[in-house]
Amino acid sequence: DVPVQIVWGDGDKVFPLPFGENLQRHIPGAHLTVIPKCGHLPHVEQPDRFRAIITGFIDSTASTFSASTGAAA
């Protein structure tokens, strides 16, 4: 399994939240983080929150993933 972080805006009108929840159900081990008061472009609408989510995900998975693959962290 490859770590997957899904970031979704709770107010996304293009692809409402059930689409993100469906993705999470169909991708083994996927983690869904929903950003409140955010639409379709979380990286644009709430860049600091988006960056914190992605940075936290990378930090929490980098050592685990590299250890399981034998790659350097």
Q: What is the pLDDT of residues 16-51, one digit of tens each?
A: 999 999 999 999 999 999 999 999 999 999 999 999
**What is the dihedral sign for C-alpha 37, 42, 44, 48?**
positive
The confidence score (pLDDT) of residue 22 equals 98
Q: 0.75 cut: is pTM over it?
A: yes
The amino acid occupying position 5 is: Q
| 50 sits in which H/E element | helix 47-69
DSSP annotation of 2 reads -
Q: What is d(CA 22, CA 55) in angstroms, rounded to the nearest whole number?
A: 24
Return the percentage of the chain with pLDDT > 90, whole number. 78
3-class SS at 34?
strand
State the average pLDDT for the chain: 91
